[in-house]
A and B are shown apart, each in its own frame.
Chain A
Amino acid sequence: MIPEQFFIVATLLFSIGLVGVVSRRNIFVVYLSIELMLSSVNLLLVTFSRIDQSMNGSVMALLLIAVIAAEASLFLAMIIQLYRSKRSLDSDHFNLLNQNKGDL
């Protein structure tokens, strides 16, 4: 077991999350992709904590898990609110703050 394997996995996860955010229009998939990117950073923190033999990285990862939970609650509330106003899960329909609404 070498750390490079974990680096590869974390990089792969981050890239897949980024691809999901960029290429999908379903707002739920965008949300799950953001979660995936956060989780990849979490994996990296734990790997470094294991390399360094100190619990500092693990504590940081624990706090990051709490931040992920907070982000999830806010994002899901936002999805519910947007769905209630537009009846759609398409992220292109959510242009409430856009001045030129005819462009999309």
Chain B
Amino acid sequence: MLENSIFAILTLFLVIGSLGMISFKHTIFSAFSFLIAMLALAGLFALLENSFLFLAQIMVSVGAVVVLGLMVIISLGSIEKNIPDEPYKFYWIALSTLLVTPLALLIYKGLLTLHAHFNETKEGYGELKSMGEQLFSEWVLPFEAVSVLLLTAMVGAIVIARKEKYFKKKNYFDEHKHQEDTK
């Protein structure tokens, strides 16, 4: 009974957070709604008796991803004229909801055919120790692949976000050429 009420509260926060995320006009409110949704998702992980993923979700998804996103929003300066004007936003949302509903029903039907039920938890399920044993015995190769992926993403992010001096020089050159032509 207690579990069910906790589940209901967390689901309420999750749905309100994600609906707010797609309907707010200002970007920073969307990011805060997403923060609420991610915290509720971490709560759901805890409800599934997976303490390590609860911590990982809070540390990575909330602590790193959302905070990084908020920093980007703040540094871009989300002033009124930069935000796209979407007068028909709610019509689009209603239309795409109509289109997505059959897909959602399909996914849910597909999941229902699994006919599974929660068993009693075994000793040590969801703890850091059993997680580490799995991760470093059967999942070593994907783990290493993810570390390479993170390194690549870091280098890629630096290369993408850096200022492009080459293009600046080219523009400068073009302007000079234009000035000489007008002379």
B73 at the A/B interface (Cβ < 8 Å)?
yes
Q: A7-B108, A73-B157 are in contact. Are A32 and B44 (CB under 8 A)?
A: no
- Mark contacts of B84-103 with chain A using CB atoms, 8 A cut-off: 1 yes-contact digit, 0 otherwise: 10100100110111011101
Q: B9 to chain A: which residues have CB within 8 Å?
A: none
A97 at the A/B interface (Cβ < 8 Å)?
no
Q: How many residues on chain B are close to A (CB under 8 Å)?
A: 87
Question: Which of A29, A81, A83 gathers most chain B CB within 10 Å?
Answer: A29
A1 at the A/B interface (Cβ < 8 Å)?
yes
Q: A26-B27, A59-B134, A80-B161 are in contact. Are A53 and B119 (CB under 8 A)?
A: yes
Q: Check B122 against A53 for contact (C-beta < 8 Å).
A: yes
- Mark contacts of A1-43 with chain B using CB atoms, 8 A cut-off: 1 yes-contact digit, 0 otherwise: 1111111111111111111101111101101110110010011
Q: B19 to chain A: which residues have CB within 8 Å?
A: 16
Q: Check A62 against B18 for contact (C-beta < 8 Å).
A: no
Q: A26 to chain B: which residues have CB within 8 Å?
A: 27, 30, 83-84, 86
Q: B122 to chain A: which residues have CB within 8 Å?
A: 53
A56 at the A/B interface (Cβ < 8 Å)?
yes
Q: Is the interface of B mostly helix, strand, loop or mixed?
A: helix
Indicate which residue in A5, A20, A81 contacts B7 across the interface (CB closer than 8 Å): A5
A88 at the A/B interface (Cβ < 8 Å)?
yes
Q: Check B18 against A76 for contact (C-beta < 8 Å).
A: no
Q: Check A77 against B156 for contact (C-beta < 8 Å).
A: yes
Indicate which residue in B14, B84, B108, B157 contacts A89 across the interface (CB closer than 8 Å): B84
- By a beta-carbon cutoff of 8 Å, the part of chain B in contact with chain A is 3-4, 7, 11, 14-15, 18-19, 21-22, 27, 30-31, 34, 37-38, 41, 44-45, 47-50, 52-53, 56-57, 60-61, 64-65, 68-69, 72-73, 75-76, 78, 82-84, 86, 89, 92-93, 95-97, 99-101, 103-104, 107-108, 111-112, 114, 116-119, 121-122, 125-126, 130-131, 133-135, 138-139, 142-143, 146, 149-150, 152-154, 156-158, 160-161, 163
- By a beta-carbon cutoff of 8 Å, the part of chain A in contact with chain B is 1-20, 22-26, 28-29, 31-33, 35-36, 39, 42-44, 46-51, 53, 55-56, 58-63, 65-74, 76-81, 83-84, 87-92
